[in-house]
Amino acid sequence: MPSHPPIITPMTLKIGIAGLGTVGAGVAMILRQKAALLAERAGKPIALKAVSARSQKKDRGINLSTVQWSKDPLELAKSKDVDVVVELIGGADGVAYDLVKTALTNGKHVVTANKALIAKHGIELAKIAEKKNVSLKCEAAVAGGIPILKTLKEGLAGNQFTRVAGILNGTCNYILTVMEKDGYDFDFVLNEAQRLGYAEADPAFDIDGVDAAHKLAILAAMAFSTKVDMKSLHIEGIRHITATDINYAAELGMRIKLLGIAQLAEGGLELRVHPALVPLHSPISRVDGVLNALEMQCDALGGLFMEGPGAGRGATASAVVADIVDIAAERGGTLYNVSASALKTLPVSPMKKHCGAYYIRLTVLDKPGVLADVSAIFRAKKISIASLIQKNREPNKPVEIVLTTHETNEASMMEALKKVAVLGQIISPPRFIRIETL
């Protein structure tokens, strides 16, 4: 479909994009190719007026010769020809932060896909936006093309939430899916994911759970109208997950997923990112590949499940453009469910108070009494064993024992595992993964 620059009128909402990578080019393409549709839905024309990128010569699949170019993104924040700054640079600080703060201070609307920025500086930036009576929107920052933030703030505005949880990182979900289907171990699949472009050259941000944690912080702030400090989140990644664990999970009727969970508990708000065994009957267990999924529990509606692409050019650009259309249609609203100054500070429940079931894998010498010793330690901590798998028994040789427990608290489980680890028959540190019944 050919792209033509729209005619600029006094009503036109003029857009400046900072960052013309995969997503930025996708946003530019939608704005150009669907200008008539967007104008109809927004009630006014929307025009791409300016861009900032390192190279003007790079082929991005769209003719941008008629827009203003700048190597300095801060020029967009100061330009009289820009009404909305779209920040697609990335990073919690540096240029991205300076750009968004300057744009808002200068009375410009901002749309961003930058979860790290919003997780760290969202409250500060939201207060500036509210003071200047402009919009700060970040639908694309969480779960890509799934309109989860709009659902939380608008579609479920009449609800109080008890839990928001789900698969928030497509890279980890892809790795775990391939490990399960092909039987490969983590390192091999990670290398393949990097070769195919599903994982970054430095994948730590994804596989160590940080990316999911940024998204969870934003979700929790919106769902529970609370301030969220990233330091209060419990964060684990998937480096320690093995094909052996995945196979045992399947035998137990479960699958392993990296989950982000924000839920109200007796001790306050739980905020945690970690791998978990999820029963096969749960819809979230069937979400494969690079897809994301969210499960929400609230008082009036009950439960809601949403699934879709969590990243990529089309999905993320779609969310960015939706925010732009909302601004054009004067559907502004605050970044959070309430004004930034009205956000509460809910107590965060420490991980040691978490209550749930556990998967435990032990490698032991097959000697009489080992299982009795483990059971005695668990019994002393009031931990009840739900199931047991023991295979390939050979006296005085290493053997694996897999246990699942009934619900217990994390502090008791960690204390028990410390005692189990020093038993003479234990060959390697016990492995544990939490079990979630979403």
- Averaged pLDDT for residues 136-150: 95
Q: What CATH number corresponds to the domain at position 395? A: 3.30.70.260
Q: How far apart are CA 124 and CA 196, in angstroms?
A: 38
Among candidates 253, 235, 236, 241, which has minimal Cα distance to 178?
A: 241
Task: Give residue 391's pLDDT.
Answer: 80
Phi-psi category of residue 51: left, alpha or beta, with phi > 0 → left and psi -120 to 50 → alpha = beta
Judgement on whether residues 344 and 209 belong to the same structural domain of the protein: yes
Is 193 a domain residue? yes
Per the model's pLDDT, the better-predicted residue between 99 and 58 turns out to be 99
Judgement on whether residues 49 and 97 belong to the same structural domain of the protein: yes
pLDDT single digits (tens) 59-82: 888 888 889 999 899 999 999 999
| Beta carbons within 10 angstroms of residue 124's beta carbon | 13
CA 418, chain centre distance (Å):
31
pLDDT single digits (tens) 239-297: 999 999 999 999 999 999 999 999 999 889 999 999 999 999 999 999 999 999 999 99
Is 187 a domain residue? yes
pTM above 0.85, yes or no: yes
Q: Given a cut of 80, is residue 5 above it in pLDDT?
A: no
Q: Given a cut of 70, is residue 4 above it in pLDDT?
A: no
Task: Give residue 61's pLDDT.
Answer: 85
Judgement on whether residues 232 and 268 belong to the same structural domain of the protein: yes
- Averaged pLDDT for residues 24-53: 95
Greatest CA separation for the chain: 85
Judgement on whether residues 233 and 343 belong to the same structural domain of the protein: yes
Q: Given a cut of 50, is residue 34 above it in pLDDT?
A: yes
> What's the mean pLDDT when you consider all of the chain?
93
**Domain endpoint, select from 351, 376, 406:** 351
Task: Give residue 135's pLDDT.
Answer: 96
Judgement on whether residues 90 and 199 belong to the same structural domain of the protein: no
Task: Give residue 366's pLDDT.
Answer: 83
Q: Which long-range contacts (CB under 8 A, 24 or more apart) does 32-39 make?
A: 32/3, 32/4, 32/5, 32/62, 33/1, 33/2, 33/3, 35/4, 35/6, 38/321, 38/324, 38/325, 38/328, 39/6
Task: Give residue 8's pLDDT.
Answer: 67
Task: Give residue 63's pLDDT.
Answer: 86
Task: Give residue 312's pLDDT.
Answer: 84
Q: What CATH number corresponds to the domain at position 343? A: 3.30.360.10
Judgement on whether residues 293 and 193 belong to the same structural domain of the protein: yes
Per the model's pLDDT, the better-predicted residue between 200 and 381 turns out to be 381
Known catalytic membership, residue 108: no
Task: Give residue 367's pLDDT.
Answer: 82
pLDDT grade for 9, boundaries at 50, 70 and 90 = low
Task: Give residue 1's pLDDT.
Answer: 45
Q: Given a cut of 60, is residue 372 above it in pLDDT?
A: yes
Is 8 a domain residue? no
Q: Which two tokens stand for residue 180?
A: 């399960």
- Averaged pLDDT for residues 172-189: 95
Judgement on whether residues 380 and 340 belong to the same structural domain of the protein: no
AA identity, residue 215: K
Is 331 a domain residue? no
Q: What CATH number corresponds to the domain at position 22? A: 3.40.50.720
Could you tell me the residue range of the domain that residue 59 belongs to? Answer: 13-137
Q: Which of 49, 120, 215, 257 is catalytic?
A: 215
Tell me the C-alpha to C-alpha distance, in Å, between residue 271 and each of 41, 222, 260.
Answer: 37, 13, 8
Task: Give residue 347's pLDDT.
Answer: 96
Tell me the C-alpha to C-alpha distance, in Å, between residue 329 and each of 149, 231, 313, 325.
Answer: 18, 37, 24, 6
Is 131 a domain residue? yes
Judgement on whether residues 230 and 125 belong to the same structural domain of the protein: no
Task: Give residue 57's pLDDT.
Answer: 78
pLDDT grade for 369, boundaries at 50, 70 and 90 = confident
Taking the CA atoms of the chain, what radius of gyration do you get in angstroms?
A: 24
Tally the domains of the chain.
3
φ, ψ of residue 113 to 5 degrees: the values are: -110, 15
pLDDT single digits (tens) 376-409: 999 999 999 999 998 877 777 788 999 999 999 9
Task: Give residue 311's pLDDT.
Answer: 83
Task: Give residue 56's pLDDT.
Answer: 82
